[in-house]
Amino acid sequence: MEVIIVPDPAAGGELIADAMADLLRRKPDALLGVATGSTPLPVYEALAAKVRTRDADASRARICQLDEYVGLPYGHPESYRSVVLREVVEPLGLAEEAFMGPDGAAEDVAAACRAYDRALAEAGGVDLQLLGIGTDGHIGFNEPCSSLASRTRIKTLTEQTRRDNARFFDDLDEVPHHVITQGIGTILDARHLVLLATGEAKADAVAQAVEGPLCALVPASALQLHPHATVVVDEAAASRLKLADYFRATYAAKPAWQGL
């Protein structure tokens, strides 16, 4: 696992957007896995800016969704499908056909979960999966004590996660209790995992995921198992890392040819 400490969220967004642009140069039809929430917005803004200035070509890119609420009607503005289309697909100038995600409105949710896991594999797998981290250490919607081998499935949200997400709704009662999420095992299938965390509220979760033991109580610790995982954190989110100075020194000495 590589840990990169950046000055602020904008720097983190630029760094990850550069990595995505490099990937698209090598593989123009790369499948990019995206996360929702406020943390990854600087990434999407920076990548869209590169597309506008022709520093990146996303015309053949494919976008896939990490998770989705269960029960929100199709087209609901806070469904993650709507959010990804609005914040990623449209700014990159892509058609909706370039996007794939699970069906949170399906009558048979379990079948929809299996179908999405299968669709990701049939698409050739995710080339780069962007992740956030919850204050309790969750990734995707794999809440604490999720199986580290889990596949795409339905999960019940903790009240903490519902409260964290209530800012996107008119009130807490509107936040769904259930979601479809890529499982930890599904996430680990991606060729490159990039976790972005910003702000002091994420500092404890980052420290536990990076320096703590591998355990289901901290789902993000599963990144320790991945052969190509990158954790990008701003100074605030890095504030509880015991090895912060080592991570800074390692990144400063990193050869330019190695890339992200």
CA geometry: angle 249, 1, 50, nearest 5 deg: 80
Pick the catalytic residue from 87, 143, 164, 234: 143
Pick the catalytic residue from 117, 127, 136, 234: 136
Active-site residue 76, yes or no? Answer: no
Pick the catalytic residue from 87, 103, 127, 138: 138
Active-site residue 170, yes or no? Answer: no
The 3-state secondary structure of the chain, one letter per residue: CEEEEECCHHHHHHHHHHHHHHHHHHCCCCEEEECCCCCCHHHHHHHHHHHHCCCCCCCCCEEEECEEECCCCCCCCCCHHHHHHHHHHCCCCCCHHHEECCCCCCCCHHHHHHHHHHHHHHCCCCCEEEECCCCCCCECCECCCCCCCCCCEEEECCHHHHHHHHHHCCCHHHCCCEEEECCHHHHHCCCEEEEEECCHHHHHHHHHHHHCCCCCCCHHHHHHHCCCEEEEEECCCCCCCCCHHHHHHHHHCCCHHHCC
Active-site residue 143, yes or no? Answer: yes
Q: Exposed/middle/buried for 243, CB within 10 Å: 0-12, 13-18, 19+?
A: middle
Pick the catalytic residue from 67, 68, 87, 103: 67
Active-site residue 57, yes or no? Answer: no
Catalytically active residues, by annotation? 67, 136, 138, 143
